Amino acid sequence: MVVLGAGGVGKSCLTAQFVHNEWIESYDPTIEDSYRTQVSVDGRQVMLEILDTAGTEQFVAMRDLYMKTGQGFLLVFSITSRASLQELATLREEIIRIKDDENIPIVIVGNKADLVDQRAVDRAKAFAISQRWQAPYYEASARTRTNVDEVFIDLCRQMLRRDDADLPHNHHDDIYYQKADDHGSSRRKNRRKNKEHRNRCVIL
Ligand code: GDP
Ligand code: MG
């Protein structure tokens, strides 16, 4: 999974809390690192790889690459910054464009929920946006470790569901998409068509 969001919203602090159970007051904002951790989701042991991004990519191609390879995205903003919520819209659009998939697993996180006096984003507003995006919304705090496990596990659960649904046809899909027309909209159409086909197979 990939942790994305504006600089300073708490991506590294959330990741450090989840992976190492520790609060790091100040984290080098330029450090981009990946972590592997074993988690238990609904009784299943899963090896999770988390990329904590830093927005320091020198080449757009690098971001394209992790958006392409990421299977789930934690979109983090800070409840103390309206601009950080606005940035998520662009990131989400880019993910959907690059993955060519509107149902990619996403969780929206309003971090720094402990800073109640500095709140700049209404809970209801953030929730409404998350509903429009059909993604769950959590308010979290890396500082007090509130909802930290919940956001990572929720995303992981979505990714597993997605994986389970895709598995029988994965290989077939890869070949199918490689052969598909390169033009974006027609590929999307193919994918939708293919998904319908996949659903029918599952029901049968
Ligand atoms: P990143 O750039 O998104 O990785 O942000 P960081 O994780 O480095 O955090 C940026 C700053 O916000 C640091 O000074 C953290 O101490 C602070 N911070 C991160 N999460 C929280 C939180 O939940 N509550 C509070 N009060 N501060 C936080
Ligand atoms: Mg960071």
Report whether residue 159 contacts ligand 1, using a CB cutoff of 6 Å: no
Instruction: Please indicate whether residue 9, judged by its CB atom, sits closer than 6 Å to ligand 1.
Output: yes
Distance 186 CA to ligand 2 centre (A): 37
pTM of the full predicted structure?
0.83
Q: Which two tokens stand for residue 16?
A: 């450090």
Our answer on whether the CB atom of 26 is closer than 6 Å to any ligand 1 atom is yes
Q: Does the beta carbon of 10 lie inside 6 Å of ligand 1?
A: yes
Query: Separation of 77 CA from ligand 1 center, angstroms?
Result: 10
With a CB cutoff of 8 Å and minimum separation 6, the contacts of 123 are 79, 110, 139
- Return per-residue pLDDT of the chain as tens, 204 residues: 999 999 999 999 999 999 999 998 888 888 889 999 999 999 999 999 999 999 876 667 788 889 999 999 999 999 999 999 999 999 999 999 999 999 999 999 999 999 999 999 999 999 999 999 999 999 999 999 999 999 999 999 999 999 888 766 555 444 444 444 444 444 444 444 444 444 444 444
Looking at the CA of residue 24, tell me the nearest atom of ligand 1: 16
If you compute the radius of gyration of the chain from its CA atoms, what whole number of angstroms results? 18
Q: Which two tokens stand for residue 182?
A: 């390169």
Ligand 1 contact, 105 CB (< 6 A):
no
- H or E, element range at 84: helix 82-99
Contact indicator for 79, 11 with CB cutoff of 8 Å: no
* DSSP-derived secondary structure letter, 100: T
pLDDT for position 164 = 86
Q: What is the pLDDT of residue 25?
A: 86
What distances in angstroms separate CA 186 from CA 15, 180, 183, 192, one per listed residue? Answer: 37, 8, 6, 10
Which tens digit of pLDDT belongs to each residue from 163-180?
Answer: 888 766 555 444 444 444
